[in-house]
């Protein structure tokens, strides 16, 4: 583990969501106070749903006018498809908090091809972050999950696209669910100011140990090593079962 990582184990998903809410609240208030904006990229999957619902429940306490929500990855399926991550994020968070449309930045899955969707999203992110003082798009926070094969966002083990690309967003043929996907690369993930992994459940205990205890830095989630930012692992007790804590 690199020195700027923090591992925290929670009794259950509810207490993990509660702590994550407090972390988001602190980061978002600081960022909006300092520069008027808080940029965050969210993952899909099941784990973060409870946290997104907690954010919605506490919406009055958070600076949504300055908060811009992007996606860490997306499946190349229509917005109303059951497997579309944005549909879940919109239902559990964006609609309940009434986020302004201009603050929501979904992956353009209506593009003709997955490559076009990735190119368009990359262009959108570059334009959004382009300013004299920063060469790199730097997200204030990126929320990630870990698949039980060690993938994160839509960066799967063995993907040729895993490292060495200078792209921010790539198209990915997903061998797991069969859906083509669009994903942030390690370049943009590792440029973030704060990265929070949310991991829960017994199924993840083996991969959590592999990533946190004896990483060979081969698995994608083990290659999330922010250059300057902070790395947090918020894990419930079941997923932390094999950690020597
Ligand atoms: C996705 C996610 C993905 C997710 C992991 C964990 O599009 O599926 O972005 O990276 O975070 O697969 O998913 P669960 O939280 O459902 O276990």
d(CA 191, CA 186): 8
Residue bearing the bigger pLDDT, 222 or 136: 222
- Provide the 10 A C-beta neighbour count for residue 198: 25
- Ligand 1 centre distance from Cα of residue 138 (Å): 22
Residue with tokens 């997104």: 52
Examine the pLDDT at 160 and tell me if it is beyond 80.
no
Residue with tokens 């184990």: 9
pLDDT at 161: 59
d(CA 170, CA 168): 7
Q: Whose CA is nearest to atom 3 of ligand 1?
A: 153
Q: Whose CA is nearest to atom 8 of ligand 1?
A: 45
d(CA 155, CA 179): 13
pLDDT at 137: 94
- Ligand 1 centre distance from Cα of residue 33 (Å): 31
d(CA 81, CA 36): 34
- Ligand 1 centre distance from Cα of residue 196 (Å): 13
Which of 90-99, 113-122, 177-186 is predicted least confidently? 177-186
Closest approach atom of ligand 1 to CA 198: 15
Closest approach atom of ligand 1 to CA 152: 10
Residue with tokens 């198209």: 171
Is residue 1 very low, low, confident or very high in pLDDT (cuts 50, 70, 90)? very low
Q: Whose CA is nearest to atom 14 of ligand 1?
A: 45
- Residues found in the chain: 245
Residue bearing the bigger pLDDT, 4 or 202: 202
Tokens describing residue 156: 């799967």
**Contact status, residue 96 vs residue 52, Cβ threshold 8 Å:** no
Tokens describing residue 159: 């993907």
Q: For ligand 1, which residues put their CB under 6 angstroms from it?
A: 43-47, 72-73, 85, 145-147, 151-154
**Contact status, residue 179 vs residue 83, Cβ threshold 8 Å:** yes
Q: Stretch 45-66: mean pLDDT, rounded?
A: 97
């Amino acid at each position: 583990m690199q020195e700027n990582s923090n591992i925290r184990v929670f009794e259950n998903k509810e207490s993990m969501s509660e702590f994550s809410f407090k972390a988001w609240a602190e980061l978002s208030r600081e960022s909006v106070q300092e520069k008027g904006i808080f940029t965050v990229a969210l993952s899909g999957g099941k784990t973060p749903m409870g946290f997104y619902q907690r954010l919605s429940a506490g919406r009055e306490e958070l600076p949504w006018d300055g908060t811009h929500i992007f996606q860490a990855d997306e499946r190349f399926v229509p917005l109303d498809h059951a497997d579309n991550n944005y549909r879940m994020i919109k239902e559990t968070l964006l609609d309940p908090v009434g986020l302004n449309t201009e603050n929501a930045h979904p992956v353009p899955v209506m593009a003709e091809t997955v490559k076009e969707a990735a190119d368009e999203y990359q262009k959108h992110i570059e334009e959004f972050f382009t300013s004299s003082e920063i060469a790199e798009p730097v997200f204030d926070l990126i929320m990630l999950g870990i698949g039980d094969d060690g993938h994160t966002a839509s960066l799967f083990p063995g993907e040729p696209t895993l490292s060495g690309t200078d792209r921010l967003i790539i198209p990915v043929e997903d061998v797991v669910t069969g859906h083509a996907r669009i994903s942030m690369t390690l370049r943009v993930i590792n440029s973030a100011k704060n990265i929070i992994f949310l991991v829960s459940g017994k199924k993840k205990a083996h991969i959590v140990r592999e990533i946190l205890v004896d990483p060979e830095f081969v698995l994608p989630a083990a290659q999330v090593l922010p250059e300057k930012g902070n790395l947090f692992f918020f894990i419930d007790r079941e997923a932390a079962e094999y950690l020597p804590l």
